Amino acid sequence: QGCSQKYIVKNYFYYYLFKFSAALGEEIFYITFLPFTYWNIDHSVSRRMIIVWSIVMYIGQVSKDILKWPRPLSPPVVKLEMRTNAEYGMPSTHAMAATAISFSFFIATMNQYKYPLELGLVAAFVFSTLVCLSRLYTGMHTVLDVIGGALISAVLLVLLYPAWDTIDHLLLTSPFCPLFSIVVPLVLCYNYPKLDYYSPTRGDTTTILGAAAGATVGFWLNNQYAAPAYSGRGVHPGFPVSTSTMVFVLARFLVGIVVVLLTRWLMKSVVLGMLGRRYKFPLGDLEARRRLEVEVPYKFVTYSCVGFTATVIVPLLHQLLGLM
């Protein structure tokens, strides 16, 4: 599984298109697009996307390790990615995430902003389709994996949509929200399905649930103790956007993403250092970092701090810098 095939790229357009599309289902996209939506578009849209994304991804990751369907054989398939090769294939969580994020964004905005609904629907379809096709091109999934992932995500969206407002209201107003948001994801991470060999699925799931937990606590705190900083002040699709508005949007994003990335780097270093002293292993020991008692707290604490920073610390910094 650690071996890679040699290959020759004959069509660079498809190669870079689908390599880029594959990145739309990975951490680099989540850590930029989801905070961007919160800082520059609308709090309610961001909250709904994060709720759907975390639920869909948890179900998808667990389903992989319960079903244990193998990825496509290589050869004949040429695999262009190796990090997730140890994971099982069905369902494709890239397909699930792309479907969940694109269509939840469309559904959450279609009644709040004035833009052609056909355009929004086409954009969501194109986005999710590109990510799905990228999993076939990179050799990481079969057609059935991708279709299964997209269908599961669509069904979950249909089931969750009627409860969106209720879940959102409870997460913003319930006094038990902070405790629930931390304890439940932690329990799920520590009781993740066990495999006969190491797979990054547990660590990735912990990353997602940790980020969602930190963000949810941030949503609750903002609703309890601070005015909704950006609600109604975002960029409204369908209206001309002035140059000054775009400057503020770009400035908010750049300031925010720098703070978020610094938080991630700092917390990784601090938490891993503390765990290394607790369990007596060197920081470069990859096998030790894969142990349950290390991986779960390391990932969960780091990314819950990232989620909290994105929803609480960064907005406060925006206010201090006059970027509202």
Indicate the pLDDT class of residue 183, thresholds 50, 70 and 90. Answer: very high
Instruction: Return the number of other C-beta atoms located less than 10 Å from residue 55's C-beta.
Output: 19
**Which H or E run contains 127?**
helix 117-137
Of 270, 291, 266, give the one whose Cα is nearest residue 281. Answer: 291
Q: Per-domain residue ranges for the chain? A: 12-321
Sorting pLDDT into bands at 50, 70 and 90, what band is 238? very low
User: Of 96, 38, 44, 52, whose CA–CA distance to 307 is shortest?
Assistant: 38
Q: List, for residues 262-278, the tens digit of each pLDDT value.
A: 999 999 999 988 888 88
Per residue in 15-34, pLDDT (tens digit) is 888 888 888 888 888 888 88
* Vertex 26 angle, CA 21 and 30, to 5°: 105
Of 141, 169, 236, 318, the catalytic one is 141
Specify the pLDDT at position 187: 93
94 noted as active-site residue: yes
Q: What is the DSSP letter of 79?
A: P
Of the residues 43, 94, 236, 318, only one is catalytic, namely 94
Count of Cβ atoms closer than 10 Å to residue 171 Cβ: 21
Name the token pair of 232: 């109604």
Task: Say what the pTM is.
Answer: 0.84
Question: How far is it, in rounded angstroms, from Cα 306 to Cα 137?
Answer: 32
Give the whole-angstrom CA distance, residue 229 versus residue 17: 36
169: annotated active-site residue: no
User: Of all residues in the chain, what percent carry a pLDDT higher than 90?
Assistant: 30
Integer Cα distance of 156 and 100 in angstroms = 9
